[in-house]
């Protein structure tokens, strides 16, 4: 068989195929050829200078304002679009230097993941800490993280700067958040970004460069006066809530420790109470967990005048001293206890209706007034350190008045005292 040129039919078929291909691709080639030519023309008209590209250099050109632009493609984004990085410089050398620095860091694994969002990483951070914290602390962390996520949400970690942190903290203040809540939010942000920096998701922790909010003057913690304590010990009802309030006032127990007590934790003679568990709140429900800190594990001596209260509370067939009235075998909800507390305290004439936790403040301040050392108070109430105990200490107005009265009496007494009788001296002069 001859060649296609020798065979008229074969030659005709080849020419037909060639003509078809020309018809199909000629418009395409013309279209994109024209577009490319137009782009080159516009660059020339605008004064853009194209530089010859070396291997791995990407696109390098100079804008009409003299700024050099260097672009490289490093891959594709999750949406399928090309991931292009752009570097600028006043000179060609500067733009290339920035590109080379980027490539060096990328090769060394020092670059950040620019697409990591705050809400995603925050959730991962909390999940990582879940096994290392108590259920109560985890619930508190979850609540705080929600505040952070409501503000920063889907923002990228790399886009959050120190100024953004400061604006967030100011918003919390303007929204009426307490200094404690603001400090917790800042502390969690610091931990989250520290972990992000450790995993090369950000180059530095922006919280470390954000100004702290100035703390507002602290509101003095409230406590019952000595007269109020005497009135409650005398006039509180002789029932479960009355016995419990007396114990709170005279032992410094936390409310969540009292509600977690089982009969086995109270000595038969009522002389001691052992703290080895505490009530915790998890997603609106209550459960038994560990005490607040390692130092909270302790045995509390019970004063003689309220030991009968401990013995009466111990004498119950229930699992807990305070059980839920609706769910046997489940500890009492703190809200229910607080309601009964306020009703009982309100029934005593001349006593302010405060909170159950104020009993703990009262115990610490009264122990201070009696001259008990901070170290001893710390061991009884179960504080982790003396700084926390000092935080509770405050001199009540009733104690201050009593001290002034004693001073006045000392100077007014007649006899051989060192200072004599000041009042008599005033009369004689």
**Which pLDDT belongs to residue 20?**
60
What backbone torsions phi and psi does residue 19 show, to the nearest 5 degrees? -65, -40
Q: How far apart are CA 59 and CA 51, in angstroms?
A: 8
**Which pLDDT belongs to residue 220?**
64
Query: DSSP labels for 208-269?
Result: GGSPPPPPPPPPPPP---HHHHHHHHHHS-SSHHHHHHHHHHHH---HHHHTT--GGGB-TT
Q: How far apart are CA 196 and CA 159, in angstroms?
A: 13
Q: What is the pLDDT of residues 24-45, one digit of tens each?
A: 655 555 555 555 555 555 555 4
Instruction: List the one residue out of 370, 351, 365 whose CA is nearest residue 223.
Output: 365
Q: What is the pLDDT of residues 345-376, one digit of tens each?
A: 999 999 999 999 999 888 888 887 777 777 77
Instruction: List the one residue out of 84, 159, 78 whose CA is nearest residue 121.
Output: 159
Banded model confidence at residue 279, pLDDT cuts 50, 70, 90: confident
Distances, alpha carbon 351 to alpha carbons 98, 228, 248, 370, 393, in Å: 72, 5, 16, 22, 21
Distances, alpha carbon 169 to alpha carbons 32, 142, 176, 188, in Å: 54, 18, 11, 12
**Which pLDDT belongs to residue 139?**
81
Angle of helix 179-198 versus helix 135-152 axis, rounded to 10: 80
Flag whether pLDDT at 100 surpasses 70.
yes
Banded model confidence at residue 74, pLDDT cuts 50, 70, 90: confident
**Which pLDDT belongs to residue 130?**
82
Identify the residue with better confidence: 155 or 47. Answer: 155
Angle of helix 307-314 versus helix 240-251 axis, rounded to 10: 130
Q: How far apart are CA 273 and CA 266, in angstroms?
A: 5
Instruction: List the one residue out of 273, 272, 264, 275 whose CA is nearest residue 298.
Output: 275
- Secondary structure of residue 70 in the 3-state scheme: strand
Pair 410, 418: CB distance under 8 Å: no
The overall average pLDDT reported for the chain is 78
Place of tokens 């939010």: 185
Q: How far apart are CA 84 and CA 76, in angstroms?
A: 8
| Contact partners, residue 231, CB within 8 Å, separation at least 6 | 348, 349, 350, 351
Instruction: List the one residue out of 178, 224, 426, 382 whose CA is nearest residue 291.
Output: 382
**Which pLDDT belongs to residue 30?**
57
CATH topology of domain 118-209: DNA polymerase; domain 1 (1.10.150)
Q: How far apart are CA 339 and CA 348, in angstroms?
A: 15
Give the Cβ contact number of residue 219 at 10 Å. 8
Query: Domain coordinates of the chain in residue numbers?
Result: 1-43, 47-110, 118-209, 226-398
Q: What is the pLDDT of residues 115-138, one digit of tens each?
A: 788 998 899 899 888 888 777 788
CATH topology of domain 226-398: hpI Integrase; Chain A (1.10.443)
Alpha helices in 154-225 (DSSP H): 162-174, 179-198
Q: Which residues sit opposite 288 in a β-bridge?
A: 279
Residue 206 is classified by DSSP as G
Identify the residue with better confidence: 203 or 114. Answer: 203
**Which pLDDT belongs to residue 370?**
75
Flag whether pLDDT at 170 surpasses 50.
yes
| Contact partners, residue 97, CB within 8 Å, separation at least 6 | 89
Q: How far apart are the first and last CA of the chain?
A: 151
Q: How far apart are CA 188 and CA 195, in angstroms?
A: 11
Instruction: List the one residue out of 132, 130, 131, 159 whose CA is nearest residue 145.
Output: 130
User: What does the pLDDT average to over 81-110?
Assistant: 81
**Which pLDDT belongs to residue 3?**
45
């Amino acid at each position: 068989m001859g060649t296609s040129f020798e065979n008229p039919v074969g030659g005709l078929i080849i020419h037909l195929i060639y003509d078809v291909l020309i018809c199909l691709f000629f418009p395409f080639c013309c279209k994109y050829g024209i577009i490319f030519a137009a782009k080159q023309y516009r660059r020339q008209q605008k004064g853009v200078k194209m530089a010859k590209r070396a291997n791995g250099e990407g696109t390098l050109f100079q804008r009409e304002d003299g700024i050099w632009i260097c672009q490289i493609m490093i891959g594709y984004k999750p949406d399928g679009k090309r991931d292009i990085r752009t570097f600028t410089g006043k000179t060609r050398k500067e733009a290339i230097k920035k590109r080379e620095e980027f490539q060096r860091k990328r090769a060394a694994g020092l670059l950040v993941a620019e697409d990591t969002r705050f809400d995603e990483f925050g959730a991962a951070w909390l999940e990582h800490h879940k096994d290392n914290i108590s259920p109560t602390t985890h619930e508190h962390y979850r609540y705080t993280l929600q505040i952070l996520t409501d503000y920063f949400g889907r923002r990228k970690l790399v886009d959050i700067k120190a100024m953004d942190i400061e604006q967030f903290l100011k918003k919390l203040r303007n929204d009426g958040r307490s200094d404690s809540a603001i400090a917790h939010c800042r502390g969690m942000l610091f931990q989250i970004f520290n972990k992000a920096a450790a995993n090369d998701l950000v180059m530095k922790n922006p919280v470390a460069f954000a100004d702290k909010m100035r703390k507002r003057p602290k509101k003095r913690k409230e406590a019952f006066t000595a007269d109020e304590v005497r009135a409650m010990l005398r006039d509180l009802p002789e029932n479960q809530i009355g016995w419990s309030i007396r114990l709170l006032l005279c032992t410094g127990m936390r409310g969540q420790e009292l509600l977690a007590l089982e009969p086995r934790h109270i000595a038969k003679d009522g002389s001691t109470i052992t703290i080895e568990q505490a009530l915790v709140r998890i997603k609106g429900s209550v459960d038994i967990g560990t005490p607040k800190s390692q130092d909270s594990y302790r045995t509390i001596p019970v004063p003689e005048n309220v030991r009968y209260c401990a013995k009466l509370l111990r004498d119950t067939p229930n699992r807990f001293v305070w059980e839920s009235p609706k769910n046997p075998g489940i500890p009492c909800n703190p809200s229910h206890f607080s309601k009964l507390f306020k009703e009982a305290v309100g029934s005593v004439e001349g006593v302010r209706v405060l909170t159950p936790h104020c009993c703990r403040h009262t115990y610490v301040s009264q122990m201070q007034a009696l001259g008990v050392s901070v170290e001893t108070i710390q061991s009884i109430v179960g504080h982790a350190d003396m700084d926390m105990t000092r935080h509770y200490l405050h001199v009540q107005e009733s104690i201050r008045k009593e001290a002034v009265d004693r001073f006045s009496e000392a100077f007014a007494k007649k006899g051989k005292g060192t200072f004599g009788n000041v009042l008599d001296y005033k009369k004689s002069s």
